[in-house]
A and B are shown apart, each in its own frame.
Chain A
């Protein structure tokens, strides 16, 4: 511009100097303005490390100089010392100074531009400067000083430092993890692994990073892993799953992985971060537990089966026991019945034994008596025949003797009959006919004692199988007893009827036993007298053999015994009891349906 304004005329030296000075001053003002207008610290020093130029920033931020002129000709240490003196009790008030001169020396020695980190306390605060220093040369190439500029990076360095610390800390955390940490790309290529990961797989970091992790997984689990990581999306960016891994030496371990997908702006997965835990022990425990559980279940199953078998068996045993008990009850009941029957049978056996001995006795007696009777019989006849013309009284005597023989023979015959009642001949007969025949036989006796007979014989009696002689003998016996018991006469009632056994009959009247069933058809004969009855103490003995209340010679004591045997041989019952009204009632009951 000056060239444009000026002409090509030569300037005068003073003019030129004045122009040059003005140019210089303008330039200086521009430089000063620029330097004072930047936040960075700017300075220049001579070879004695004395400032020859400073900007505002260094005065304010480092030297604490009152203006940009004050540091000229002075060193860093001048200001450092001044600052330190101002706070003699605080060694940390200002620690900057030496470091600046040291770096000056370095540059002067190396003779080239260098960069320094300079830091220390200024006014009690930490100051960190990123310093660029360079040697300053004159036109002859002689070093005449140094220039420098420093940018305050306290905050940045602090942040960097903290970042570094933080990263170190996090790295330490990551590296100290026993958990495996890795990052990998969607194609499986590993981008990061921690120390634990490397240790675990026995590989170096560089062998892992840049390669797929898939070869570490057994073939059979790979599809599953692939499916798991493919399922992640922004809505469910995290997944946990378990799979097996192959360790060096081929050992198989179980891992649990928690994968976290990282998405880009378009929700596309760019990477996965994955944290894994060795769960082999847990898996093995689970497996052991599972086996134990299975074993237990099996045991429980077997035991249950065993128990249910035993239970079944027990149930069967209980059922059997119950049945046995039932059987026992039945057996007991039937034993009781049998016992009753036995008692009865025993009585009968005793009775039979008595009868037996009586029978033997009777046979002996018969023999011993009948032989002499035979002699007497023959003798009486012989004498009767021989003395046909003997006197009348002798004839009577002989006749009496014959009668006596007959009577004696009758008694012996009774005895024999008594011991051989079972040898009767049975024939179908009407009970009424037999009774009438018996009445006929005792008619004479009845008339003699003035006893009136009342017959009430049913016309509709069934015909039964009877031993006519035996039953006749029984009724004669009963009638004779009645007649004997009625010395003052009276009425003898004879009644026959056919009926069904009633409950009352069953339990009260006919022997109070089970001889007759309720509803069973029977033929009944009743004989009632109005005599003196039977003494109570005798009533149990009336059927006993040889029991008699008659004077000696009038009764054998066998009448009722024989009678009962005869009735029993017919399957019937005979009962004799005192009537309330006086006298005796004899009841004889025959079954119509009789066992043959």
Chain B
């Protein structure tokens, strides 16, 4: 079974590294890290992931905008996105609008379950 390609975009480098280590440790995923939101779209095009883990609050470009760029890209629009967020308030759900999310901090099990739930069948 081919490894699923996961793109994780988060400005917190220590977190993206641990996500990559933890997911790849399972042997089922290939993970690409990206710490700048503004580069999210180009890396997604280049890497063409099966799923994108996307932080919402990033200094250069927010996850919401990155998600919009991806959803507006004809080649990338079907790639599932899961938001990662440190701050989840109900009001944020409207920004997220239908896109699944994971609240940080998150256990590895929860993270994997969420990825699996959202990977295309």
Q: Are B18 and A379 in contact (CB under 8 A)?
A: yes
Q: Are B107 and A377 in contact (CB under 8 A)?
A: yes
Q: Which of A375, A386, A419 gathers most chain B CB within 10 Å?
A: A375
The answer, yes or no, to whether A283 is at the interface (CB within 8 Å) is no
Chain B residues near A381: list those with CB within 8 A.
22, 107-108
Q: Are A405 and B25 in contact (CB under 8 A)?
A: no
With A381-B22, A382-B21, A382-B25 already in contact, the answer to whether A370 and B89 are too (CB < 8 A) is no
The answer, yes or no, to whether A423 is at the interface (CB within 8 Å) is yes
With A382-B21, A382-B22 already in contact, the answer to whether A423 and B90 are too (CB < 8 A) is yes
With A416-B87, A420-B90 already in contact, the answer to whether A375 and B21 are too (CB < 8 A) is no
The answer, yes or no, to whether B106 is at the interface (CB within 8 Å) is yes
Q: Are A371 and B86 in contact (CB under 8 A)?
A: yes
When chains A and B are docked, how far (Å) is the Cα of A381 from the Cα of B12? Answer: 18
Q: Are A370 and B21 in contact (CB under 8 A)?
A: no
Cβ contacts B37-53/A at 8 Å (1 or 0 each): 00000000000000000
Cβ contacts A341-377/B at 8 Å (1 or 0 each): 0000000000000000000000100111111111111
The answer, yes or no, to whether A409 is at the interface (CB within 8 Å) is yes
Q: Are B104 and A374 in contact (CB under 8 A)?
A: yes
The answer, yes or no, to whether A236 is at the interface (CB within 8 Å) is no
Q: Are A371 and B104 in contact (CB under 8 A)?
A: yes
Q: Are A371 and B89 in contact (CB under 8 A)?
A: no
Q: Are B18 and A378 in contact (CB under 8 A)?
A: yes
The answer, yes or no, to whether A593 is at the interface (CB within 8 Å) is no
Q: In the assembled complex, how far is the CB of residue B31 from the closest CB belonging to chain A, in whole angstroms?
A: 12
Q: Are B89 and A423 in contact (CB under 8 A)?
A: yes
The answer, yes or no, to whether A385 is at the interface (CB within 8 Å) is yes
With A367-B57, A379-B18 already in contact, the answer to whether A420 and B108 are too (CB < 8 A) is no
Chain B residues near A367: list those with CB within 8 A.
57, 86-87
Q: Are A378 and B87 in contact (CB under 8 A)?
A: no
Q: Are B15 and A378 in contact (CB under 8 A)?
A: yes
Q: Are A374 and B105 in contact (CB under 8 A)?
A: yes
Q: Are B86 and A370 in contact (CB under 8 A)?
A: yes
The answer, yes or no, to whether B97 is at the interface (CB within 8 Å) is no
Q: In the assembled complex, how far is the CB of residue A115 from the closest CB belonging to chain B, in whole angstroms?
A: 161
Contact-size category for B = 20 to 34
Chain A residues near B91: list those with CB within 8 A.
420, 423
Q: Are B104 and A370 in contact (CB under 8 A)?
A: yes
When chains A and B are docked, how far (Å) is the Cα of A373 from the Cα of B106? Answer: 9
Q: Are B89 and A416 in contact (CB under 8 A)?
A: yes
Q: Are A405 and B105 in contact (CB under 8 A)?
A: yes
Q: Which of B86, B91, B107 gathers most chain A CB within 10 Å?
A: B86
Q: Are A370 and B22 in contact (CB under 8 A)?
A: no
Name the residue on B nearest A370 (C-beta): B86
Q: Are B12 and A378 in contact (CB under 8 A)?
A: no
Q: In the assembled complex, how far is the CB of residue B57 from the closest CB belonging to chain A, in whole angstroms?
A: 6
Q: Are B86 and A366 in contact (CB under 8 A)?
A: yes
Q: Are A385 and B18 in contact (CB under 8 A)?
A: no
Q: In the assembled complex, how far is the CB of residue B83 from the closest CB belonging to chain A, in whole angstroms?
A: 13
Cβ contacts B70-103/A at 8 Å (1 or 0 each): 0000000000000010111111000000000001
Q: Are B22 and A375 in contact (CB under 8 A)?
A: no
When chains A and B are docked, how far (Å) is the Cα of A405 from the Cα of B108? Answer: 14
When chains A and B are docked, how far (Å) is the Cα of A377 from the Cα of B110? Answer: 12
Cβ contacts B1-43/A at 8 Å (1 or 0 each): 0000000000010110011011001000000000000000000
When chains A and B are docked, how far (Å) is the Cα of A424 from the Cα of B15? Answer: 30
When chains A and B are docked, how far (Å) is the Cα of A379 from the Cα of B108? Answer: 10
Q: Are A375 and B89 in contact (CB under 8 A)?
A: no
Q: Are B18 and A375 in contact (CB under 8 A)?
A: yes
List residues of A (381-423) whose CB comes within 8 Å of B's CBs.
381-382, 385-386, 405, 409, 416, 419-420, 423
Q: Which of A370, A371, A381, A382 gathers most chain B CB within 10 Å?
A: A371
With A382-B25, A385-B25 already in contact, the answer to whether A377 and B87 are too (CB < 8 A) is no
Q: Are B105 and A409 in contact (CB under 8 A)?
A: yes
When chains A and B are docked, how far (Å) is the Cα of A409 from the Cα of B103? Answer: 11
When chains A and B are docked, how far (Å) is the Cα of A364 from the Cα of B65? Answer: 20
Chain A residues near B22: list those with CB within 8 A.
378, 381-382, 385
Q: In the assembled complex, how far is the CB of residue B120 from the closest CB belonging to chain A, in whole angstroms?
A: 25
Name the residue on B nearest A369 (C-beta): B86
Q: Are B89 and A377 in contact (CB under 8 A)?
A: no
When chains A and B are docked, how far (Å) is the Cα of A386 from the Cα of B19? Answer: 14
When chains A and B are docked, how far (Å) is the Cα of A409 from the Cα of B107? Answer: 13
When chains A and B are docked, how far (Å) is the Cα of A409 from the Cα of B88? Answer: 12
When chains A and B are docked, how far (Å) is the Cα of A252 from the Cα of B117? Answer: 131
Q: Are A366 and B25 in contact (CB under 8 A)?
A: no
Selected A-B contacts with CB under 8 Å, 19 pairs = A370-B87, A371-B104, A373-B105, A377-B104, A377-B107, A378-B22, A378-B106, A378-B108, A379-B14, A382-B18, A382-B21, A382-B22, A382-B25, A385-B22, A385-B25, A386-B25, A409-B105, A420-B89, A423-B89
Residues on B lying within 8 angstroms of A by beta carbon are 12, 14-15, 18-19, 21-22, 25, 57, 84, 86-91, 103-108
Residues on A lying within 8 angstroms of B by beta carbon are 363, 366-379, 381-382, 385-386, 405, 409, 416, 419-420, 423
- Beyond A367-B57, A368-B86, A374-B105: 14 further Cβ-contacts under 8 Å? A363-B87, A366-B86, A370-B87, A370-B104, A370-B105, A373-B105, A374-B84, A375-B15, A377-B104, A377-B105, A378-B106, A379-B18, A381-B22, A420-B89
